[in-house]
Structure 1
Amino acid sequence: MSIKFRLTLMNFFQLFVWGAWLTTLASYGFGFKQWSGQEFGIVFSTLGIASIIMPAISGIIADKFMNLEKLYGLHHILYGITLLIIPNIDNASSFFWVMLFAMIFYMPTLSLSNALSYTILKNNDYDVVKVYPPIRVFGTIGFIVAMWITNLVSDPESPLAFGLEIGNKLSNITGMAIQCNQFYIAAFFAILLGIYSMTLPKCPPKNEIDNSNVTLVEKLGLQGFKLFKQTKMATFFIFSIFLGAALQLTNMYGETYIKDFSKVPEFADTFAVKSANIVLSISQISETIFILAIPFFLKRFGIKKVMLFSLIAWVLRFGFFAYGDPINSLWMIIMSNIVYGFAFDFFNISGSLFVETTTDSKIRSSAQGLFMMMTNGFGAVLGSLSSGYLIDNYFTYNDVKDWHNIWLTFAIYALVITVLFAIFFKHKHNPNDVESINH
């Protein structure tokens, strides 16, 4: 079995074990557990909290104490075991703590998987820039496959949904089993992935590096915070937080939004409502396509304009959802999913490139970590908590959510961020920026 195939398999299941439950968590919380918007927002904030505290800690362990492939595998095994506990949790408060532990184990693997792939490819004399992107694409494919499988096994009418059927109605035990399938699937494959990854080529810690003069700040990977002294970098990171607040909103609420159309009789039996997760998977399919266009857009328009295009795409993403429905305006829901690939990939890639081309090489890794901390950490926490509060207090009437105005509010928010970013973020286009990806 070739190295490239083995890494492809690893990347496939890396996002498979996340996609199995991420987009269906809202349906589980709102529908099955009857949580409020604020309770769900607090639960979802565990992704951001873990993204703030864990990647640096895991990086230190990998650098000094433990083989990278073993640490990566251990994270996934513990993540899988923790997911198995979730079906036994009855309230949002306890669920928060269990999910937080699950995310503490999982979120660092997003960066560890990159590091592991890079190290193994380099050790085997592969051109990382050329070889890795096709391998990484299979991670997104894994996310899509997981969404499809979860959709099928969570449908009571599907032959793939396991459970005990009594007469023509599902028993409570069966209903619980179907609702929890997403966690069982993710847990099973996460544990398998953890075991499998430990068979990958060894990547020992680099103990030969002299750390005697390294400060605590450097050990924790926090030296990038000095970039806040620079106006342009501070502006960029602040906007990264505010955009990060919007990045996961459609993953948080997308499936629940579509499934809530079932409360309207004319929409109840439509394909979109019955297969919401499959419809939403168009977003990930779009990602695999748009990512190929990034070098062209960066070369032609520059980093700032590409980030602006991304922000405009976020306005469209939310706006299409606001006016879509499963019959007359299904095309809007589909278009929302298509523009997601542009919106999500273009900001993340161009933002990462901006950091790469404007920071000193000595703190570049820390700066990249800081960018991820702002978007997936602080931004995600801000988006989770604030959206839950707003939905509960301003857009829920008699337990019915006003999705039109929810998405419209998010669209206006994204539009305000877009305008402010265009005004305050100063960056001159350099056609050679895209070339630096290869160096």
Structure 2
Amino acid sequence: MKPNAQFKLSVMMFFQFFAWGAWFATLGQCLGANGLADFGGGAYGSAPIGAIFAPLFLGLIADRFFPSQQVMGVLFLLGGVLLLLVPGVAESGNGEAMVWIMTANMLCYMPTLGLGNSIAFANLDRLTFPKVRVWGTIGWIAAGLLVGFLGWSSSFDIFYLAGASSVILGLFSFTLPNTPPPAKGEPVNMRALLMFDALAILKRPAFLVFLACSCLICIPLAYYYGLTSNYLSNAGFEQAASTMTLGQMSEIFFMLLIPFFFRKLGVKWMILVGMLSWVARYLLFAYGASEQVIWMLLLSVALHGICYDFFFVTGFMYTDKVAPENIRTQAQSLLVFFTQGIGMYFGYQVAFGRFGKEVTGYGNLNEAISSARTIEELGVLEQLGRMFAVSMPEGLDATMLTNVMSQWKEFWTYPAFFAGAIAVVFFLTFWDKVSVAEEEGGE
């Protein structure tokens, strides 16, 4: 391992996910508070579009012509400039232009996820990687806490924070360990770029079931990523961005427990528990809404560790296990294409479409809460204490609150049943005796 490589790569991971987490978690709340909720599906849909095209960019350009750290630097500088343009465009009310700018930014950002991993694996011992990758989750948490502390959960200023951190990382990337393009001089293989070779793995019935269920369940999953901040703000949480970091904190905890659960449960039950956790999360949101049961809402957010690690991380490990060695990269790209790409894209369209039709009182309640809430001068410790607190202003129209919370209950019930139906199909049709734990234990 090269001197200072671990430190530099940890900094890279921190800012990489800080730049994303600064705006992603509360974008829905921000758009809703500024009259742009109708553009939520397109804005969040920019991430899946980036995920769909990232493998092509990596295969055609990043892996062949330039050192990875230089490509990383250029992409973050371009993305940072684009993020800095968003507030001015959005505040002018031009939602369509905002979506186009965000899409351009995510086309720059999404390839850096693969690039960052490539740089890390090329310069670190394999067992050191998790110690570096965890700084990405810490960066996401730090961004959420800072956005909440600054009171920017409903402000387009989140893009100034994201843009500035992106530019900083862009400049810092040029100091990262030199990582030559891994496929330099090799001919372009369009079959590999388009993942055609990986389609052969679909002949394995269990993997076909896994891929189909993974794609479909990402539709209800998009509800959480896109609209939780809106819901929490209606429920009286003052700093939704900070509240949502509970999910990333639990993610770190459960990530450490994955080897243990693999040995105890196996692939099928790990993935099934992940799916059922999404069902539980949405039911907690639904039935915690009408009566304002705060512990249910916080528990739902805290379930993110199981929801994400048991489903996504297990899925990547299962894919790596069953795919032939020569097409493992393609197989992982295929999984990302169908989950983070196709599934999430349609999920955001469905979620925001139903939000606009069903939670019709969101804007009025949000405005009433903001107007009734008094601005207080708080010390640092007091401000930190408010990050996970609920404060519903006195004098708020109780009938309005009850009606809107009833709308939220109906809204969250749909993804709960959708995810539940897919979990049942997966339970009945997925049969694979492969053991990821055996390989992990033998290394």
Report if TM-score (shorter chain) is over 0.5.
yes
Aligned residue type for 2:139: G
Match of residue 352 from structure 1 = 316
Cα distance between partner residues in 2 of 1:27 and 1:398: 10
Aligned equivalents of 1:186 and 1:132: distance in 2? 25
Match of residue 294 from structure 1: 258
> Which position in structure 2 is the counterpart of 1:55?
55
Q: Out of 407, 414, 436, which is 2:419 matched to?
A: 414
Moved more, 421-430 or 282-291: 421-430
The SS at the match of 1:200 is: coil
Greater Cα shift, 78-87 or 395-404: 395-404
1:114 equivalent in alignment to 2:117: yes
CA 1:117–1:145: 2 relative to 1, 3 Å = same
Please show how residues 9-408 of structure 1 align to structure 2 within 5 Å: 9-36=11-38, 39-89=39-89, 90-121=93-124, 127-128=125-126, 130-154=127-151, 179-206=155-182, 210-211=186-187, 215-262=189-236, 273-324=237-288, 329-396=293-360, 402-408=407-413
Query: What is the CA-CA distance between 1:386 and the residue it aligns to?
Result: 1.1
State the alpha-carbon separation in 2 of the partners of residues 110 and 8 from structure 1: 14
SS in 2 for 1:316: helix
Change (3 A) 1:336 1:31: same
Measured after TM superposition, the shift of residue 420 of structure 1 is 0.9
Task: Output the CA distance in 2 between the equivalents of 1:438 and 1:326.
Answer: 50
Cα distance per residue 1:92-116 (max 9 Å; x no partner): 2212111100110111111211111
SS in 2 for 1:248: helix
Verify the 8 A CA contact 1:60 1:220 in the aligned structure 2: no
1:261 aligned partner, one-letter code: A
Cα drift, residue 398 of structure 1: 8.4
* Contact 1:83–1:187 under 8 Å retained in 2: yes
CA distance in structure 2 between the partners assigned to 1:152 and 1:70 by the alignment: 34
**Aligned-pair CA distance for 1:220:** 4.3
CA contact (8 A) 1:353 1:433 kept: no
Residue equivalent to 2:6:
4
SS at match of 2:178: coil
Give the corresponding residue for 2:386: none
CA deviations 1:279-308 (Å, max 9, x no partner) are 111000000000011111111111011000
Contact 1:35–1:92 at 8 Å: present in 2 too?
no
Displacement of 1:324 after TM fit? 2.3
How far 1:429 sits from its partner (Å)? 4.8
Q: Is the 8 A contact 2:254 2:306 kept in 1?
A: yes
Q: CA deviation at 1:58?
A: 2.2
Q: Aligned partners of 2:148 and 2:363: how far apart in 1? A: 24
Cα-to-partner distance string for 1:44-79 (whole Å, 9 max, x where unaligned): 111111111123312432221111001111111111
Taking structure 1 as reference, are residues 207 and 414 closer, same or farther at Cα in structure 2, changes over 3 Å only?
closer
Q: 2:431 maps to which residue?
A: 426
Distance in structure 1 (CA, Å) of the matches to 2:27 and 2:329? 32
CA gap of 1:60–1:119, structure 2 versus 1, over 3 A, is: farther
Question: Structure 1 residue 222: deviation in Å?
Answer: 4.1
Q: In structure 1, how many angstroms separate the alpha carbons of the residues matched to 2:30 and 2:58? A: 30
Task: For residue 181 of structure 2, give the secondary structure of its aligned residue in structure 1.
Answer: coil
Q: CA RMSD in A?
A: 2.2
Identity, % of aligned positions: 29
Residue 236 of structure 1 and its aligned partner are, at CA, apart by 1.5
Question: What is the distance in 1 between the residues matched to 2:244 and 2:329?
Answer: 33
| Cα distance between partner residues in 1 of 2:152 and 2:16 | 24
CA contact (8 A) 1:247 1:344 kept: no
Shift of 1:327: 8.8
- Once residues 290 and 298 of structure 2 are traced to their aligned partners in structure 1, the CA distance between those partners, rounded to angstroms, is 10
| Residue 6 (structure 1) shift | 1.0
Return closer, same or farther for 1:326/1:295 CA change in 2, 3 Å cut-off: farther
- The C-alpha deviation readout for 1:200-258, integer Å capped at 9, x for no partner, is 111112356543xx642124444213333433222221111112223332121111101
Tell me what 2:389 maps to: none
CA change 1:395–1:189 in 2 (3 A) is: closer
Give 1:81 deviation, angstroms.
Answer: 0.5
Contact 1:82-1:102 at 8 Å conserved across structures: yes
Normalising by structure 1, we get a TM-score of: 0.85
The change in CA–CA distance for 1:208 and 1:254 in structure 2 (over 3 A counts) is closer
